[in-house]
Structure 1
Amino acid sequence: MVKLTIIGRVSDGLPLAQGPRYVNEEENDSFSTYKQQGEFILEEISRAALPLSNANIRIDHHCFYYIVGHGVCFMTLCDSSYPRKLVHCYLQELAKEFEKFDTSLVERITKPYSFIRFAGSIIGNIRRQYVDTRTQTNLSKLNAKSLQNVDFVTEDFSQIVKRRKRSYLLERATESSEQVSQIWGSKKLEVIALKWTPITILSFVGAILLWTSLIARDDQGVYGY
């Protein structure tokens, strides 16, 4: 069953619209988690950390499926047993309906989930067609030869999270290295070095000469010279 639908902008990962949720009582408490996971996947797509082709993200006994077209990501959460062909048809229908809207309107959206014109009846009406996989229409889609080669790149959500953590740690390490490099390569530090390096050298040489003269005096005292 299609349980959650999120449509987002690929360029910045902004979620534009969300369809009605369909979860049972046991899953109701987990719905906010599923939504956050979907938003995280959308962010990873915008960072080019996930492919722009059809993809299937496995998580527990569910799967996130998404397709990308014209800079927009169409994503849905389904039971892992839900037929891939029907998922593909569902997402394709969403994409076709979305194309009817002015693209400049989509680009002007700045607030998450504010594309209400699409989030309401359009997603709900399309989703209702895919509730029962045994209807004649859906059976025809499952048997259609044109959908025989429908494929999704499969990933595990846990692996995506691990990659994000490694990427974050690498970015932090790079930033720290650049900050140190900027400090040591700054003009102010260069001026300080030019000013104090000769003084430091002279002080060091003077200390050596003083130490040498003291040793010479001690030797004279010992040997009576």
Structure 2
Amino acid sequence: MPPLLTQVARVSDGLPLVAIQTPAPGIPVTTQDQKEAKALLRKITAGANKMSITSGDKVFSYMVRDSLCFLTMTEARYPKRLSFLYLDEVGDLVLQELVREFGTNWRVEVDQTARPFRFIHYDPIIQRKQKEFQDERQQRSKLNDDLSEIQSIMKKNITDILDRGEKLDNVQNISQELMSKSNNFKWGTRKLTWQARMQQYMPVIVIAVIVVFIIYVKFFW
């Protein structure tokens, strides 16, 4: 079963920019569903990145990207991971179209528009994407691809951590070696200082010992 309702809105005020409905047999998109979607879009702030909200036998899922909110409504049994995967791909398509149509100034166009459904001509590309999430085999394939990607990312992160651990061990070994050499250097420095002082004061000490010896022999022997 595909997403039943999809909307793209401006985060700052919830102004709807794109909206499509695809009621399934026996599962209509009611006026109440539309009102709930509209109310939800007005409450969303940029601080909430993604969320799912259950309402009866329906679930509203939304994702915020680049000052835009991408919202969909599905059946409660529809996989949440698949809902967010769908929203992510819809977001990619819409953002690509905005850049293609307005270039790097697309944010200005979005911020300044005052007319609801200003980008309704994007509906066909969202409908095509929606159909991809209708076939159960394609749904399983997309979920498997998504899980494989997550596993690859996790493996890479683990490998990076292990490599970082080895590098940290090398740094620790080098640090210990430097500390050992530093201690040896300190001991060598103290030794050289002691030898230098002995060389400096030894003649004085020898002369003093000789004078004391002569005085002792002359007066006490």
CA distance in 2, matches of 1:75, 1:130: 15
TM-score by length of 1: 0.57
Q: Which has the larger radius of gyration?
A: 2
What's the CA shift for 1:74?
0.2
Is 2:114 aligned against 1:110? Answer: yes
CA distance in 1, matches of 2:151, 2:39: 29
User: In the alignment, is the contact (CA less than 8 A) between 2:53 and 2:59 conserved in 1?
Assistant: yes
Is 2:136 aligned against 1:133? Answer: yes
Please identify runs of 4+ aligned residues in structure 1 that moved more than 2 A. Answer: 20-24, 102-105, 133-145
Query: Which amino acid in structure 1 is aligned with residue 39 of structure 2?
Result: F
Q: Deviations over 1:120-175 (max 9, x none)?
A: 211101111101232263253354351899xxxxxxxxxxxxxxxxxxxxxxxxxx
For residues 147 and 109 of structure 1, do their structure 2 counterparts lie closer, same or farther at Cα, with a shift above 3 Å needed?
A: farther
CA distance in 2, matches of 1:147, 1:6: 30
What percentage of aligned pairs have identical amino acids?
25
Q: How many residues align?
A: 143
2:23 matched residue in structure 1: 22
What's the CA shift for 1:62?
1.0
CA distance in 1, matches of 2:32, 2:152: 33
Alignment of 1:29-178 (within 5 A): 31-46=30-45, 52-100=48-96, 101=98, 102-118=106-122, 120-135=123-138, 137-141=141-145, 143-146=147-150
Which one scores higher on RCO, CA 8 angstroms, separation ≥ 6?
1
User: In the alignment, is the contact (CA less than 8 A) between 2:50 and 2:63 conserved in 1?
Assistant: yes
Q: 5+ unaligned residues in a row in structure 2: which ranges?
A: 99-105, 154-221
Instruction: Say what the alpha-carbon RMSD is for the aligned residues.
Output: 2.4
Query: Which amino acid in structure 1 is aligned with residue 131 of structure 2?
Result: R
CA distance in 2, matches of 1:147, 1:67: 22
Q: 5+ unaligned residues in a row in structure 1: which ranges?
A: 150-225
User: In the alignment, is the contact (CA less than 8 A) between 1:85 and 1:142 conserved in 2?
Assistant: no
Q: Deviations over 1:64-84 (max 9, x none)?
A: 000001110000001111112
Structure with the bigger percentage of helix: 2
